Amino acid sequence: MNYQHIPVLLDEVLTLLEPQPGQNFVDATLGGGGYTEALLELCAPSGKVLSIDLDKVALKNAEKVSAKHKDRLILVHGNFRDIAQHIRHNEFNNIAGIVADIGLSSFQLDESGRGISFQKHEPLDMRFDQSSQDPNSEFILNKHSTPELAKIFTEYGEEKYSHKIADHIVKARAEAPIKYTTDLNELIKSALPKPVQHKWQDTARRIYQALRIEVNHELANLERFLPDAFNLLAPNGRLVIVTFHSLEDRIVKNYFKSLAKGCVCPLEFPICKCGQTPQGKILTKKAIMASESEQEMNSRSKSAKLRAVQKI
């Protein structure tokens, strides 16, 4: 399979990372390899890039890039949350910058056959790493209770009709197991009040997002990744993160703010007693969005938000 993915906000990512010849970088979410290939070109002739992905198809696709750049690209099969372990194992040092695109690739949505998108008839799986023993979305839909499903839909999908949909799923699976995206789509549609059934696709996007986040532990992974990635940077190194929904962006925004915060003593203290100094400098006063021209060329860039911080 050809792993296609258009890198989002590529120019902005490169501007913020400022890659120079001889520097080392980490692409924590390889995907289609757009960031990786651009970084390899700009840090040549001696700079290296270590690229991580859970999806073996992405790694296989990147072998042609690896062949082109010989020993300057290190490909790692694993989760970006384990970045510290991957860096230690590969003895990869002096990291000038780390980039992570937390969104899905076009391949995962359109061609992976994993039921990540509601727009195709596919088995309900949603695991990024299909060699994983973690429960897939079919297991969750058929085994979780109504309160458990409703909690997933509410917390990760911010869905108004979470409980109605969860209750509908639990009742329906008693008659027949839920195996395919089309099964789930019909249940979502029929669970909604009639006046809003024509908007079922908006609800489906939120339900599928929630299931995908639950299956792949996406928010917990991001929360674990951020401090480890920042700590791995060399002095003045930069961490650049691209997210695609508000839950992820909020985590990144709040973590970066905590890095840039100095004294946390109560206001009534006449002098600082905590001794806390800023660890990072925020490089993006507000999230950077894709330009109108990029959004026209790549509709999936519309929801992208980029934030960056520099290690002090």
How does pLDDT run across 243-257, given as a tens digit for each residue? 999 999 999 999 999
Least trusted range by pLDDT, from 73-87, 150-164, 273-287 = 273-287
Model confidence at 124, pLDDT cuts 50, 70, 90, reads very high
Which of 162, 190, 216 is a domain's end point?
216
74 within domain boundaries? yes
- Mean pLDDT for the stretch of residues 57-63: 89
Which of 216, 242, 276 is a domain's end point?
216
Cα 103 to Cα 101: distance, rounded to the nearest angstrom: 6
Which residue segment(s) compose the domain that 299 sits in?
10-107+220-311
128 within domain boundaries? no
Confidence check: pLDDT of 112 > 70: no
CB 85 within 8 A of CB 15: no
Whether residue 49 sits in one domain with residue 180: no
For residue 266, what pLDDT is reported?
Answer: 86
3 within domain boundaries? no
Whether residue 146 sits in one domain with residue 294: no
Cα 171 to Cα 169: distance, rounded to the nearest angstrom: 5
116 within domain boundaries? no
113 within domain boundaries? no
Whether residue 250 sits in one domain with residue 273: yes
Whether residue 187 sits in one domain with residue 43: no
For residue 241, what pLDDT is reported?
Answer: 98
CATH number at residue 209: 1.10.150.170
Model confidence at 136, pLDDT cuts 50, 70, 90, reads very high
Cα 28 to Cα 21: distance, rounded to the nearest angstrom: 20
115 within domain boundaries? no
Mean pLDDT of the chain: 93
Whether residue 277 sits in one domain with residue 236: yes
**Percent of all residues in the chain with a pLDDT value above 90, rounded to a whole number:** 79
Which of 216, 247, 281 is a domain's end point?
216
CB 262 within 8 A of CB 292: no
Confidence check: pLDDT of 1 > 60: no
- Angstrom CA distances, 109 to 132, 161, 188, 223, 282, stand at 19, 24, 19, 24, 32
For residue 106, what pLDDT is reported?
Answer: 61
CB 96 within 8 A of CB 241: no
118 within domain boundaries? no
129 within domain boundaries? no
Whether residue 53 sits in one domain with residue 23: yes
Whether residue 147 sits in one domain with residue 200: yes
Structure token digits, residue 12: 């902005």
Whether residue 96 sits in one domain with residue 45: yes
- Please give the full DSSP string across the chain, using - where no structure is assigned: -----PPTTHHHHHHHH---TT-EEEESS-TTSHHHHHHHHHTTTT--EEEEES-HHHHHHTHHHHHHHGGGEEEEES-GGGHHHHHHHTT---EEEEEEE-S--HHHHHTS-SS-STTS--BS---SSTT--S--HHHHHHHS-HHHHHHHHHHHH--TTHHHHHHHHHHHHTTS---BHHHHHHHHHHHS-GGGGGGHHHHHHHHHHHHHHHHHTHHHHHHHHHHHHHHHEEEEEEEEEEESSHHHHHHHHHHHHHHH----S-TT-SS--S-----EEES-SS-B---HHHHHH-GGGTT-EEEEEEE-
Model confidence at 187, pLDDT cuts 50, 70, 90, reads very high
For residue 268, what pLDDT is reported?
Answer: 86
Model confidence at 111, pLDDT cuts 50, 70, 90, reads low
For residue 103, what pLDDT is reported?
Answer: 77
Whether residue 238 sits in one domain with residue 187: no
β-bridge mates for residue 267, sequence order: none
- Mean pLDDT for the stretch of residues 134-159: 97
Whether residue 307 sits in one domain with residue 224: yes
For residue 186, what pLDDT is reported?
Answer: 97
CATH number at residue 54: 3.40.50.150
Whether residue 93 sits in one domain with residue 147: no
Whether residue 226 sits in one domain with residue 210: no
Q: How many structural domains are present in the chain?
A: 2
- Mean pLDDT for the stretch of residues 191-206: 96
Cα 203 to Cα 161: distance, rounded to the nearest angstrom: 8
